[in-house]
């Protein structure tokens, strides 16, 4: 079976070395030395400051929301967040869990990101925050989004779950917004089994979030505010340190697969239009098919050959009933119905790629 994703499993001896240290110290969680080491190493690797590690990317969104205070109701009514309907469910469900109403704005038909030109028109007196997603790692129109936020005094939290290592105009994309959140789930290029992070613009927000993820405590027995347990453990950090050590090989292998697909499909299918000022993280390879029927046929044809594909991200979030009733976002609904993600991971060999490419082309 060729799976759509496959976690990078780092050198076992290296991981054992970290586990030996954990056994010797007997320190398993609560901001241990490996969590601190991974924090420092990720800050250097990504080119960011003020990075906080957490239990997963969904908690990262929720803690960022809480830290920036954008969940506080206004005039007795829930706060609103302007966000994209084309994303994984976690983007919008994290807002709902924090009591925030998602207000969906349609996507650009080529970049598949929130269309910045519609954002200003969606601002209401209830709006507190804009939550765009760098979909499949493709950088949003950050300057335009920032301009709207400044004009209306809104916060911006980028869901950067797919944008690990992506640069924009030569600097980390994660430095845009009041906060950017990451997912380190096993299926991601960089992972800690389960895990996530927030990159804050301001040091004071990082300090506040450090308390929030530790039950709101500033010191043992002193609770300064409402918190939660969202900490990363030492075992997860150990995996992260090992994966980070091998990141160059991992990314090179992913890039090779991505480029083979790009050569094979670039003329035949509509592909995501990449932001020309941004680098690539090689997280996903989405194809935009002509129709949903063509997608279903392709998916089935590949499945019978033992090739797994995924409909990331289907359905369009404006149609998900647990998120409430929302006006239909035409472009997102149409795009979500036609996008199929192909297997993309470092263990794909040439024979796998040839099989996948032939399977998609139906030859």
Q: Which is nearer to ligand T4K, 56 or 214 (CB)?
A: 56
With CA atoms as reference, report the closest residue to 135 among 275, 264, 334.
275
CA distance 7 to 304: 23
Q: Does 56 bind ligand T4K (CB under 6 A)?
A: yes
**Cα radius of gyration (the chain):** 21
For ligand T4K, which residue of 18, 86, 88, 176 counts as binding (CB under 6 A)?
88
> To the nearest whole angstrom, how small is the minimum distance from the Cβ of residue 25 to ligand T4K?
27
What residues contact 285, with CB distance under 8 A and at least 6 apart? 257, 258, 261, 341, 342, 344
Helix (H, G, I), strand (E, B) or coil at 204: helix
The DSSP 8-state label assigned to residue 322 in this structure reads G
Residue 200 CA to residue 129 CA, distance in Å, equals: 15
| Alpha-carbon span 237 to 37, nearest angstrom | 8
Residue 240 and residue 18 in contact, taking contact as beta carbons nearer than 8 Å: no
Name which of 187 and 218 has its Cβ closer to ligand T4K: 187
Query: By CB under 6 A, is residue 280 in contact with ligand T4K?
Result: no
User: Is residue 187 part of the contact set for ligand T4K (CB under 6 A)?
Assistant: yes
SS (HEC) of 65-126:
HHHHCCCCCECCECCEEEECCCCCHHHHHHHHHCCCEEEECCECCCCCCECHHHCHHHCCCC
Work out whether 3 is an interface residue with ligand T4K (CB under 6 A). yes
Judged by CB under 6 A, the stretch of 77-85, 88-96, 172-180, 298-306 that binds ligand T4K is 88-96
Closer residue to ligand T4K in complex, CB, 208/236: 236
Window of 53-61, 241-249, 267-275, 328-336 that interacts with ligand T4K by CB under 6 A: 53-61
Question: Using CA atoms, how far apart are residues 96 and 93, in angstroms rounded to an integer?
Answer: 5
> What are 278's two structure tokens?
């941004």
Does the protein bind ligand T4K through residue 164 (CB under 6 A)? no
Does 191 bind ligand T4K (CB under 6 A)? Our answer is no
Closest approach of ligand T4K to the CB of residue 183, in Å: 3
58 lies in the site for ligand T4K, by CB under 6 A:
yes
Q: Is 340 in the site for ligand T4K (CB under 6 A)?
A: no
Report whether 233 contacts 28 (CB < 8 A). yes
Whether the Cβ atoms of residue 2 and residue 306 lie closer than 8 Å to each other: yes
Query: Which residues, 6+ apart, have CB-to-CB distance to 255 below 8 Å?
Result: 280, 282
CB of 7 to ligand T4K, least distance (A): 5
Q: Should residue 196 be labelled a site residue for ligand T4K when binding is judged by CB under 6 A?
A: yes
Chain positions 298 to 317 lying near ligand T4K, rule: CB under 6 A, are 308, 310, 312
Q: Is 66 in the site for ligand T4K (CB under 6 A)?
A: no
Per CB under 6 A, does 183 bind ligand T4K?
A: yes
Size of the site for ligand T4K (CB under 6 A): 23
Q: Using the rule CB under 6 A, is 200 a contact of ligand T4K?
A: no
Binding status of residue 158 toward ligand T4K by CB under 6 A: no
Shortest-Cβ-distance residue relative to ligand T4K: 57
Q: Provide the binding-site residues for ligand T4K, judged by CB under 6 A.
A: 3-7, 56-58, 87-88, 90-91, 133, 159, 161, 183, 185-187, 196, 308, 310, 312
């Amino acid at each position: 079976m060729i799976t759509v994703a496959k976690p990078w499993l780092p050198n076992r001896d290296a991981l054992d070395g970290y586990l030996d240290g954990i056994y010797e110290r007997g320190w398993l969680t609560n901001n241990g030395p490996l969590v601190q080491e991974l924090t420092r190493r990720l800050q250097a690797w990504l080119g960011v400051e003020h990075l906080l590690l957490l239990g997963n990317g969904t908690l990262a969104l929720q803690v960022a929301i809480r830290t920036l205070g954008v969940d506080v109701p206004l005039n007795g009514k829930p706060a609103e967040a302007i966000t994209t309907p084309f994303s994984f469910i976690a983007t919008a469900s994290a807002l709902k869990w924090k009591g925030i109403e998602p207000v969906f704005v349609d996507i650009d038909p080529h970049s598949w990101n929130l269309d910045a030109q519609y954002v200003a028109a969606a601002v209401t007196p209830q709006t507190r925050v804009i939550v765009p997603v760098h979909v499949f790692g493709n950088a949003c129109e950050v300057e335009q989004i920032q301009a709207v936020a400044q004009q209306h005094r809104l916060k911006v939290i980028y869901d950067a779950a797919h944008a690990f290592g992506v640069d924009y105009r030569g600097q980390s994309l994660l430095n845009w917004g009041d906060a950017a959140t990451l997912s380190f789930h096993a299926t991601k290029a960089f992972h800690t089994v389960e895990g996530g992070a927030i990159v804050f613009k301001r040091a004071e927000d990082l300090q506040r979030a450090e308390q929030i993820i530790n039950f709101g405590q500033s010191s043992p027995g002193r609770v300064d505010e409402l918190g939660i347990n969202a900490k990363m453990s030492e075992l997860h950090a150990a995996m992260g340190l090992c994966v980070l050590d091998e990141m160059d090989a991992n990314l090179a292998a992913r890039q090779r697969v991505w480029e083979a697909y790009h050569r094979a499909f670039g003329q035949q299918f509509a592909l995501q239009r990449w932001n020309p000022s941004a680098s690539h993280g090689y997280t996903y390879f989405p194809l935009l098919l002509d129709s949903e029927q063509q997608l279903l046929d392709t998916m089935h044809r590949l499945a019978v050959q033992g090739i797994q594909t995924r409909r990331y991200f289907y359905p369009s979030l404006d149609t998900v009933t647990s998120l409430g009733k929302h006006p239909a976002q035409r472009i997102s609904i149409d795009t979500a119905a036609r996008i199929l993600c192909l297997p993309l991971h470092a263990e794909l060999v040439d024979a796998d790629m040839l099989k996948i490419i032939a399977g998609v082309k139906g030859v």
